[in-house]
Structure 1
Amino acid sequence: MSDDGASPSPSAESPPDRPLRVAVVGAGPAGIYAAAALTRQDAVPVAVDLLDRLPTPFGLVRHGIAPDHPKMRAIRDTLHRALEDPLVRFVGNVDVGVDISLAELRRHVDAVIYTYGASLDRHLGIEGEDLPGSLAATDLVAWYTGHPDADRARVEAALAGVRSAVVIGVGNVALDVARVLSRTPEELEPTDMPQHVLDVLAATPVEEVTVIGRRGPAQAAFTTQELRELDGLAQATVLVDAADLELDPGSEERATADRNVGRNLAVLRGWTDHSPVPGRVRLRLRFFRRPVRFLGEERVTGVEVERTAVDGDGRAMGTGELEVLPADLVVRSVGYRGIPLPGLPVDERSGTVPNEDGRVLRDGRPSLGEYVAGWIKRGPSGVVGTNKHDARETVAALLADAAAGVLTPSGPVGDLVAELVARGAEPVLLDDWRAIDAAEVALGATRGRARTTMHEREALLAAVRAAAARGR
C-alpha cells in the first residue's frame, strides 16, 4: 500500500497496548453505521472518534429528510444508540481542514474513514439558471430543515410571493420539495421546522407546483411510498396526463422487471382521472420534458422546456417541441456531488473519492489507513439504510488490513479533543449534544410540538454553554 506521508506506518515492534484508534469524518448515517460496525465486532479492539463539522449528529437524517416525515426522521433514535457506545466519542463542531488539517488528524489516529457525504448540487448549465428565484434543492432543503449554513435571505427572497413553482427532477428529494410547498400551514405546524420557516411557508401563496422529468415514469427515481404521499395532502390535487404514461417497449419491459417501477406506474395511472379543484393546489407530474432555459430578467418568470423521447438505451432525446411553463420559483433537484477535503482526492466527474472496496486510492494504489463510506464513496444513491451495507463493506476492508498486520496501532496517540481545545476549537461532545437536544425539545414545547430545530450555530453552542454553566 502507498503512503501519502501523513499516515502511520506499521511498526516492527510490538504494537502499543491500546485499541486501534479510528477517526470517522462525518456523523451522518454512513459514519454512524461505520462506527457501529467497528465497535460491535470482537476481532480487533477499536475506539472511534466520530467527527462532524456541525455541532449536531445525524447528517441528512437531520438536515435532509423532510420534517413532515416524522417516522423517517425517527431513524435518528436508532442512530443515537450507536453514539452511546462507550467506544464511540462524538466530536462535533470540528471542521477537518480548518480546525485541524487532514495530515494533523492522521497523526492522532491509526486510520480515518471519510463519510462526509455529497453536499453540493449539480448544475443544469442552461441560460437563466442563476436568476433570482432559481434555487438548488440543496439550498431549499437546508433552509426548511434548519441547517446552520442555510442561506436564509436568498431562499426567503426566492419564496416571496410565489404562486407557481417548477421542480426539476423526479427523485425523492424533488417530491419532498413539491410536497412541502403544497402543504397547508396546519399540516406543517406540528413538524420540527424552525419557526421562521413555518412563517414564510404560511405566507407563500402557492397555487401550482409542477414536477418535471426529462425521461418517462419508468425511469423516475422516486420510491412508491414517497409518490403515494402526494395524494394525501389536505389541500392539493395531484394531476397526471395519461399521455405521459404511454410507454415504449423498453420502458414496458423495465416496468415488468422492476417491482418499484410497476408500483409507481399503477399509482400514477390511478391519478389520470383527477381534475383541478378550485381553491386546491394543482400538483402536476409531467414527464418527457427537459428544461432548455429559464426565462425572466429581474427574476425567474418561467421555464422553457423541450419535449423528449426515450431511446433504446434509456437516454432522453429532444424532439424540438417547445413550451413554456410559468414559474415564480424554480427548484433544481438533479443530484448531488461531493467536494474534496484539503489533501483528499476526489474525482471531478463522479464527485466521489477514488476507492477500491472502501480503501482510498492515491495514484491508483490503496493508501494506508484511509477509507471511505457513504455517498462520498459511491455517489448519491440509495436510501438511508443503504449506508449500513456500504459502511460494513468498508469496515470489513479495514479489519482485514488489521488482521493482515498492515494496519496496526503505530505508537502513542495524543488525545484529539485535548489537541482541538488547545487550538481554540470548541468541540461538542455527546453530553453537549444532549444539552442541544433538550433545548430543542423545550423550544418545541413552547408551541405544543415535540421539538423545534434550532438553526443558528451560535444558538446551538449557547445551549451547550448554558448546560455547562448549570453543571448539567
Structure 2
Amino acid sequence: MLRVAVVGSGPSGVYAAQALVAQREVPGVRVDVLDRLPCPYGLVRYGVAPDHEKIKSLQGNLRGVLEDDRIRFIGHVEVGGPQCTTARLRELYHAVVYCVGAARDRTLGIPGEELAGVHSATSFVSWYSAHPDAEEAGFDLTGVRSAVVVGAGNVAVDVTRMLARGEADLAPTDMPHAALRALAGSGVRRVHMVARRGPSQGKFTTKELRELGTLPGVAVELDPAELALDPAYADPAAPLPAVNRRNVEVLRGWAGQGAPEADRRIVLRFFLRPVEVLGDAAGRVVGVRFERTAPDGRGGVSGTGTYEDVEAQLVLRSVGYRGVPLPGLPFDPATGTVPHAAGRVVRDGRASVGEYVAGWIKRGPTGVIGTNRPCAKETVSSLLQDAALLARRELPGDPLDALRAAGLDPVLWPGWLAIESAEADLGRTLGRHTVKIPDWPGLLTAAGTAGPGTGRGAPGGPGPDTPAG
C-alpha cells in the first residue's frame, strides 16, 4: 500500500487526491488530505464570493472526493510548524504532495500605503468569507462614502461588487453576521475600480464584469474618452483574445448608454496608476493620487506626468498574490513558487523523489479553479512513476497517531460535519440560511475539539466575533 499526504484541501489538493485513488497502475493507494484549517475546500470556501452560489456549489464535487473511503481529511494540522515539520511528514508517508497555494498579496509599494483604511483585497475577502484568520476588528464602513479598488482582475470585481451590494442581496448568503451588518450599514455610495492599463487588457472574466451592471440600485459609470485611449477599444476590428473582446463589447455597451441615476455608483477607471495614498492629520486615508498612463506600444503603459486625486476613505489593493515559503521546502523568491520538474520538488538542482507540488505553489497564481485539475494530474503522474521506489520504505504506523502524539488535536471528517451542522443551526437562530462561523474558538468548539488553535483567536475563551448559540 502506498500512503500519500496531500497538504491543502482546496481544489488542487482534492484533485490530486482524486487522481491518486482513481488511477489503476498502483493499487491500494491511501491518501490523507491535511489542512491547517478545520474546514476543507480552501479558496472555494474562503475565496469565492458568498453571492456566487453556482461557483460555491463546487464544494459538492470536492465533498464527494473527500468522502471516498480511500481518502481521509485531517484538519487543524499546521504543516511546517514545530509539531509537524516537513521532515517529519516525509517520515510518516511514502510521498507528500504540497498544494499550499499563494497566501500573500502583493503590495503597491507607494507612500501612504500604511495609512488606516488601506487594506489588501485578500483581507476584505477573508473577512466577508469568515476566514478565522481575518482581521479581528473587521471593517467599519459607516464613515466610508467613497472607496477605491486598485486592480482589474476577478478579485477586484468581487470586492467592488460586494461593496456596492445591498443587504437584501447579501442576507440569503452564508456571510458571517457581523460582516453582513457592517455591509448593510455601509455609507459607501461610490466605488472606483481603477486599472493602470486599458479596458482591452482587463484580467476579469466577462461573466464577472457583466454582473456589475445587474446590481439593483447600482449604476456603472465610465468615461468614453478614457476608454478610447486604448487603441484596441477604439477599433472594433482589433484582434483580441475572445474574453478580452467580449469585455470590450460589454464596456462599449455601457459607455453608449450612459449611467442612469442610482443610489450607488461603480466607477470604472482605466490608464491610471497609483503613486501615493493621501491621508489626514489623524493618519487615515482620504484619497489616492494617480498618474495618467498611456499605451507604450509594447503592451505596457508609461506615465504621462499628469495626476488626478480620487477621494476615498477605504482603499483595497488587488494586484496579485505570491507564494509563501514553507519551512523545509526550497523556494524561488523571484517566482514565489517551489522549484519543480513536472511536479517533483527540485533540491539543489536534482528532483527529490517523494516530494511533489501542485496548484499555485507549483505554477504561480494563474488560471481558474479548473486549471488545477490538469496541473494535479501531471504531478500525480510523476508520483506514480516513482511509486515502486517509494513503496519499498516501511512506515512507522498510522500517521494520525503520530500527529496526536506530537500534541496536535486534528479535526477529522465527522468534526467538519459537526461544523456544518453548527453553521446551519446558527443560520436558523439568526433567521437566515446557513451562516459561517468566523473564528477559531467557534469552529473548534463546533468540531468537538479543545486542542491548540492556530493563529489569532486560538481557543482559550470566546473570540470577539464568536456567534452566540
Match of 2:215 among 233, 255, 271: 233
Query: Which residue matches 2:120?
Result: 136
CA distance in 1, matches of 2:151, 2:273: 9
Match of 2:242 among 245, 248, 259: 259
Contact 2:213–2:219 (8 Å) recurs in 1: yes
Match of 2:159 among 168, 177, 182: 177
CA distance in 1, matches of 2:356, 2:214: 43
Letter in 2 for 1:374: G
State the shift of 1:252 in Å: 5.9
Deviations along 1:98-146, one digit per CA (max 9) or x if unpaired, are: 2311111110001111001001110111000111000001110000000
Q: 277-286 or 126-135, which moves further after superposition? A: 277-286
Contact 1:218–1:255 (8 Å) recurs in 2: no
Q: 1:35 to 1:409 in 2, by over 3 A?
A: farther
Match of 1:56 among 39, 51, 66: 39
Match of 1:451 among 396, 416, 434: 434
Letter in 2 for 1:296: G
State the shift of 1:218 in Å: 1.4
Structure 2 matches for 1:33-72, cutoff 5 A? 33-45=15-27, 46-72=29-55
Contact 2:219–2:262 (8 Å) recurs in 1: no
State the shift of 1:256 in Å: 2.5
Contact 1:237–1:274 (8 Å) recurs in 2: no
State the shift of 1:449 in Å: 3.3
Contact 2:99–2:357 (8 Å) recurs in 1: yes
Calculate the aligned-residue CA RMSD, in Å. 1.8
State the shift of 1:276 in Å: 4.7
Q: 1:379 to 1:466 in 2, by over 3 A?
A: closer
Match of 1:442 among 419, 422, 425: 425
CA distance in 2, matches of 1:113, 1:373: 7
Structure 2 matches for 1:382-401, cutoff 5 A? 382-401=367-386
CA distance in 2, matches of 1:110, 1:255: 53
Query: Which residue matches 1:87?
Result: 70
Does structure 1 residue 280 correspond to structure 2 residue 266?
A: no
TM-score normalized with structure 2 length: 0.92
Q: 1:314 to 1:406 in 2, by over 3 A?
A: farther
CA distance in 1, matches of 2:343, 2:370: 17
CA distance in 2, matches of 1:30, 1:250: 36
State the shift of 1:279 in Å: 4.6
Deviations along 1:280-323, one digit per CA (max 9) or x if unpaired, are: 21101111110010001321100000111122321121111110
Q: 282-291 or 440-449, which moves further after superposition? A: 440-449
Match of 1:96 among 58, 79, 88: 79
CA distance in 1, matches of 2:413, 2:299: 48
Structure 2 matches for 1:139-178, cutoff 5 A? 139-153=123-137, 155-157=138-140, 159-178=141-160
Letter in 2 for 1:57: P
Does structure 1 residue 127 correspond to structure 2 residue 115?
A: no
Match of 1:353 among 338, 360, 370: 338
Letter in 2 for 1:167: V
Q: 1:255 to 1:30 in 2, by over 3 A?
A: farther
Q: Secondary structure at the match of 2:69?
A: coil
Q: Secondary structure at the match of 2:157?
A: helix
- Residue correspondences, number: 445
Structure 2 matches for 1:247-326, cutoff 5 A? 247-248=230-231, 256-297=239-280, 298-326=283-311
Q: 1:324 to 1:250 in 2, by over 3 A?
A: closer
State the shift of 1:347 in Å: 1.2
Contact 1:239–1:274 (8 Å) recurs in 2: no
Q: 1:397 to 1:144 in 2, by over 3 A?
A: same
Contact 2:93–2:395 (8 Å) recurs in 1: no
Letter in 1 for 2:188: V
Structure 2: 5+ residue runs without aligned partners?
451-469
Identity %: 52
CA distance in 2, matches of 1:274, 1:305: 27
Q: Secondary structure at the match of 1:431?
A: helix
Structure 1: 5+ residue runs without aligned partners?
1-18, 468-472
Q: Secondary structure at the match of 2:213?
A: helix
Q: Secondary structure at the match of 1:150?
A: coil
Match of 1:344 among 308, 314, 329: 329
Match of 1:328 among 306, 313, 316: 313
Query: Which residue matches 1:370?
Result: 355
CA distance in 2, matches of 1:337, 1:127: 21
Q: 1:117 to 1:202 in 2, by over 3 A?
A: same
Q: Secondary structure at the match of 1:385?
A: helix
Q: Secondary structure at the match of 2:346?
A: strand
State the shift of 1:72 in Å: 0.8
